[in-house]
């Protein structure tokens, strides 16, 4: 077993060797005086010396402390909260800022209990209203009714952080849409430095300063040139241990605001990556929903591979931070109370941020009362509970070394200490075998490198001995501070871990095997039915029991236990949970089943991918949402909708309606026309409504509702919507067939 300190000499020596070929840039050496996080390279450097140099770039002490925080919280709160907007104009009236129940202890408590280690507060967003009574402008909360203008919100947040043992960070937007000096470069820089000085001197220790890249026009229409070097120098002087993030030298913006980092994430990158201009250009990219979408420079997929650093003039330790909001927006909006990210989504984000060598910065915005909303707390609590359950016990802990490593190295690898590690020395084979305490099922691999030494692992794999043979379970690239990988569950008592490629000898500090939460699945997972539907439940873990309710309440061990398939005869919200013998449980999962009031015959079936829950989905009273993939919409690819509803008997009717979903970027267009006709015998139909649609001339995303009144008596209603046809000339998919998306036909 080796430790960070005992290795210090080895590393110092290596560094001295490296330093004969490379030299330290004096300016940056000063900026990063606490670690060897910057190396300047000679232009004639050989490839192998370059790799050695890269392997020896290490985090500064403050970068290391920051990385170990793993999860940090953002709190966006200010004028925008009260104006129900994301970006203020700078003209907002401070009178509107009045959070009557504001309680920063509640923020800190919620954030601490959800496992976060730091809180970063938006002291001033782009609108310019300061959340502290700055002496350098009148545009502050002193001009608001909150606490009769005597409040200092930054002070309250800093004190609550101290009380709940959270580190404290500040967000101060350089872009200020209110301040009249903005755009008069020198004058505004002085103003900004004055504000920074207030924040860095009056509120105790500041651990992170978060600068955004936005640099828009000021109130006077001029563009400001920020004096970053002066800002950094001031921070170094007043709060030397604070990391400067995003538009700063210590912490790199991952490149998207989706919550998903790169699979291959290097903390050692060419120094050009720290170029503020490039960060600024890209930091206002559109939010991507599904993962990492690279769009250039800072947001390239590959920032630190051998290829990416090949022509670097200098290398820097510049680790990634993944910022994302728990809601669609950064500020609180009542309309988003129903779109708070689910605990499952937060867990996925955790695996894709912390588990990809990044620190997670999750935004949790308080509401207009000044409190974190219960919807966010509910999701955070379930997420934290899931993390506690999953990572409670390392299943590799009590294993026996079978080759290469010894017992004390197994202990080092499973002691939850990122500085004790498997010292591979000068070996070129980095592979070990372990016999697990017993035959075990696992589906998560956790790896950590001792980054005090550098980031070195380039490729690895995990194998399991199954049925007497070795089977590769998972292969990955970088590890860095922490890497988490999920894979289909495997059952074995023998595993082999191999580092296939590494820059110099790797220093693996943690190796863990874990099990994901049990998941309940329903077949069908949703349906619209006429008489009844038979539902089969299954669980990803054979030994866990499934409990369910049909009355909307949350199931627990006292609820009905699933034994065999059952029928549902009414519209039902089926809530399920899997509970293990030890009492730990998976997430609550819900499935919905809708009973349709009428028979419906579809003359033309929708596409299998968008069947809308079956034909009855069109009349099941469950309207499709704005999300065309929510399972409720029936999608017709190039074809028309034509259906006949049978009410069972003749009825007096007066209201009819139908909704279309238009999402032209996804090739979904409104119909050319829609026609309703009625009949008493199912043969002779009379048209009661016909409507043509204008062609869209640009991209559009909307639900198009058609409603009309017509008094009549009928048993059968025929609805026909003619597909848009081929995509128009302005569309990237021009000439291809359009989709027609329909949900909920109403007849009353």
At which residue do the structure tokens 């690819």 appear? Answer: 637
The nearest distance, CB 210 to ligand FUL, in angstroms, is 8
Q: Among residues 540, 538, 537, 488, which one has the least CA distance to residue 517?
A: 540
Closer to ligand FUL by Cβ: residue 117 or 283: 283
698 exposed, middle or buried (CB, 10 Å; 0-12, 13-18, 19+)? exposed
User: Which DSSP letter does residue 694 get?
Assistant: P
Nearer Cβ to ligand FUL (284/536)? 284
Min dist CB 222 to ligand FUL, Å, is 20
Query: Out of 70, 323, 418, 620, which residue is the one contacting ligand FUL (CB under 6 A)?
Result: 323
Q: Cβ atoms within 10 A of the Cβ of 86, count?
A: 14
User: 385: which 2 tokens?
Assistant: 């509970």
**Site track for ligand FUL across 111-150, x = CB under 6 A:** ----------------------------------------
Of the pair 143, 214, the CB lying nearest ligand FUL is at 214
User: Between 252 and 670, whose beta carbon lies closer to ligand FUL?
Assistant: 252
Q: Quote the least distance from Cβ 71 to ligand FUL, whole Å.
A: 16
* DSSP secondary structure code for residue 140 in this structure: B
The first and second tokens of residue 598, run together, are 């009428």
Residue with smaller CB distance to ligand FUL, 257 or 418: 257
Residue 422 and residue 399: Cα distance in Å, rounded?
15
C-alpha distance from residue 427 to each of 75, 82, 326, 422 (Å): 47, 61, 45, 12
Of residues 372 and 644, the one with the C-beta less far from ligand FUL: 372
Kindly report the backbone phi and psi dihedral angles of residue 533, in degrees, each rounded to the nearest multiple of 5, phi listed first.
-135, 140
Q: Are 546 and 578 in contact (CB under 8 A)?
A: yes
Smaller CB separation from ligand FUL, 128 or 614: 128
Which residue of 214, 219, 233, 238 would you call a contact of ligand FUL, by CB under 6 A?
214
Task: Assess contact for 208 and 158: CB atoms under 8 A.
Answer: no
Smallest distance from ligand FUL to CB 462, Å? 36
- Smallest gap, in angstroms, from Cβ of residue 275 to ligand FUL? 17
* Two structure tokens written together for 577: 């949970």
Q: Which CA distances in Å does 42 have to 114, 303, 390? A: 47, 20, 47
Smallest separation, CB 319 to ligand FUL (Å): 18
From residue 73 to residue 102, the character string flagging contacts with ligand FUL as x (rule: CB under 6 A) and all else as - is: -------------x----------------
In the complex, what is the shortest distance from the CB of residue 583 to ligand FUL, in angstroms, rounded to a whole number? 39
Angle (CA) 636 637 638, round 5°: 110
The rounded distance, in Å, linking the Cα atoms of 358 and 354 is 5
Look at residues 253, 306, 291, 293 and name the one whose alpha carbon lies nearest to residue 459.
Answer: 306
3-state helix, strand and coil shares in percent for the chain, rounded to the nearest 5: 20, 35, 45
Nearer Cβ to ligand FUL (256/357)? 256
Contact 592, 572 (CB under 8 A): yes
- When asked if residue 330 is in the footprint of ligand FUL (CB under 6 A), the reply is yes
Beta carbon of residue 248, minimum distance to ligand FUL (angstroms, whole number): 14
Give Cα 626 distance to the centre of its chain: 21
Binds ligand FUL by CB under 6 A, chosen from 212, 367, 409, 458:
212
Interacting residues of 77 by C-beta distance below 8 A, sequence separation 6+: 121, 122, 131, 153, 331, 332, 365, 366, 370
Subset of residues 283 to 322 that bind ligand FUL, contact rule: CB under 6 A: 283-284
In the complex with ligand FUL, which residue's Cβ is closer, 212 or 423?
A: 212
Instruction: Give the helix ranges, DSSP H, for 312-446.
Output: 343-353, 374-390, 407-413
Size of the site for ligand FUL (CB under 6 A): 7
Which strands sit side by side in the sheet containing 268-270, from one edge to the other? 38-40, 314-317, 268-270
Q: Residue 545: is it exposed, middle or buried by C-beta count within 10 angstroms (0-12/13-18/19+)?
A: middle
d(CA 395, CA 522): 29
Nearer to ligand FUL, 60 or 283 (CB): 283
Q: How far is the CB of 259 from ligand FUL (least distance, A)?
A: 12
- Give the Cα separation of 447 and 209 in Å (integer): 29
SS3 string, 216-245, reads: CECCCCCECCCCHHHHHHHHHHHCCCCEEE
- What 3-state class would DSSP assign to 51? helix
Q: Find out whether 518 and 585 touch, Cβ atoms under 8 Å.
A: yes
Nearer to ligand FUL, 129 or 588 (CB): 129
Nearest to 389 by CA among 462, 444, 349: 444
CB of 168 to ligand FUL, least distance (A): 17
Parallel, antiparallel, or unpaired: how do β-strands 208-211 and 243-246 relate? parallel
Contacts of 6 (CB under 8 A, 6+ apart): none
Q: 123 with 211: CB under 8 angstroms?
A: no
Positions that interact with ligand FUL (CB under 6 A): 86, 212, 214, 283-284, 323, 330
């Amino acid at each position: 077993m080796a430790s960070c300190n005992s290795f210090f000499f080895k590393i110092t020596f290596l560094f001295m060797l490296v330093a004969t070929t490379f030299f330290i840039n004096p300016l940056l050496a000063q900026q990063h005086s606490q670690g060897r996080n910057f190396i300047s390279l000679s232009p004639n450097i050989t490839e192998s010396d370059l790799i050695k140099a890269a392997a020896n770039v290490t985090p500064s002490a403050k970068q290391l402390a920051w990385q170990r925080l793993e999860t940090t919280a953002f709190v966006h709160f200010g004028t925008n909260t009260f104006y129900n907007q994301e970006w203020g104009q700078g003209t907002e009236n401070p009178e509107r800022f009045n959070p009557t129940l504001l309680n920063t202890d509640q923020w800190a408590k919620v954030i601490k209990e959800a496992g976060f280690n730091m809180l970063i507060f938006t002291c001033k967003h782009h609108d310019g209203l300061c959340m502290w009574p700055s002496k350098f402008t009148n545009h502050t909360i002193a001009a608001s009714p909150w606490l009769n203008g005597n409040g200092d919100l930054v002070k309250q947040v800093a004190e609550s952080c101290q009380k709940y043992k959270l580190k404290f960070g500040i967000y101060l937007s350089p872009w200020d849409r209110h301040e009249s000096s903005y755009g008069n470069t020198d004058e505004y820089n002085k103003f900004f430095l004055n504000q920074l000085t207030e924040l860095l001197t009056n509120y105790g220790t500041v651990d992170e300063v978060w600068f955004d890249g936005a640099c828009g026009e000021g109130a006077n229409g001029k563009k400001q040139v920020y004096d970053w070097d002066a800002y950094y120098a001031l921070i170094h002087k007043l709060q030397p241990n604070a990391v400067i993030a995003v538009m700063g030298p210590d912490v790199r913006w991952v490149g998207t605001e989706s919550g998903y980092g790169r699979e291959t994430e290097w903390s050692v990158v060419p120094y050009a990556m720290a170029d503020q201009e490039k960060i600024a250009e890209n930091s206002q990219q559109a939010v991507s929903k599904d993962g990492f979408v690279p769009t250039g420079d800072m947001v390239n997929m590959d920032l630190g591979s051998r290829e990416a650093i090949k022509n670097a003039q200098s290398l820097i330790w510049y680790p990634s931070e993944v910022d994302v909001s728990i809601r669609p927006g950064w500020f609180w909006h009542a309309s988003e109370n129903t779109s708070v990210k689910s605990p499952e989504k937060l867990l996925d984000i955790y695996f894709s941020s912390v588990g990809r060598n990044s620190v997670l910065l999750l935004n949790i915005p308080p509401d207009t009362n000044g409190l974190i909303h219960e919807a966010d707390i509910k999701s955070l609590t379930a997420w934290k509970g899931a993390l506690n359950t999953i990572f409670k016990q390392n299943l590799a802990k009590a294993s026996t070394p079978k080759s290469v490593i010894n017992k004390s190295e197994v202990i080092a690898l499973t002691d939850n200490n990122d500085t004790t590690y498997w010292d591979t020395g000068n070996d070129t084979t980095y592979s070990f075998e372990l016999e697990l305490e017993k035959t075990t099922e696992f589906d998560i691999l956790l790896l950590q490198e001792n980054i005090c030494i550098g980031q070195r692992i380039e490729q690895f794999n995990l194998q399991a001995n199954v049925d007497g043979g070795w089977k590769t379970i998972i292969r990955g690239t970088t590890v860095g501070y922490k890497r988490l990988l999920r894979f289909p569950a495997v059952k074995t008592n023998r595993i082999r871990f191999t580092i296939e490629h590494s820059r110099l000898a790797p220093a693996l500090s943690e190796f863990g095997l874990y099990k994901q939460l049990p998941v309940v699945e329903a077949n069908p997972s949703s349906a619209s039915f006429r008489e009844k539907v038979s539902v089969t439940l299954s669980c990803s873990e054979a030994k866990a029991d499934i409990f369910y309710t049909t009355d909307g309440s949350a199931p627990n061990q006292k609820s009905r236990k699933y034994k065999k398939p059952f029928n549902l005869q009414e519209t039902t919200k089926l809530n399920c949970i899997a509970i293990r013998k030890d009492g730990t449980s998976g997430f609550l999962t819900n499935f919905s089943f809708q009973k349709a009031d009428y028979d419906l015959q579809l003359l033309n079936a929708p596409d299998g991918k968008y069947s809308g829950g079956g034909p009855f989905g069109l009349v099941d009273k469950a309207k499709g949402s704005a999300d065309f993939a929510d399972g409720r919409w029936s999608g017709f690819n190039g074809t028309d909708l034509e259906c006949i509803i049978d009410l069972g008997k003749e009825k007096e009717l007066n209201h009819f309606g139908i909704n279309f979903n238009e999402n032209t970027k996804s090739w979904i267009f409104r119909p050319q026309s829609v026609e309703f006709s009625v009949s008493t015998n199912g043969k002779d139909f009379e048209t009661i409504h016909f409507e043509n649609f204008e062609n869209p001339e640009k991209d559009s995303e909307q639900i198009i509702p058609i409603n009309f009144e017509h008094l009549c008596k009928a048993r059968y209603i025929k609805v026909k919507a003619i597909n848009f046809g081929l995509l128009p000339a302005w569309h990237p998919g021009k000439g291809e067939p359009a989709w027609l998306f329909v949900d909920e036909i109403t007849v009353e």
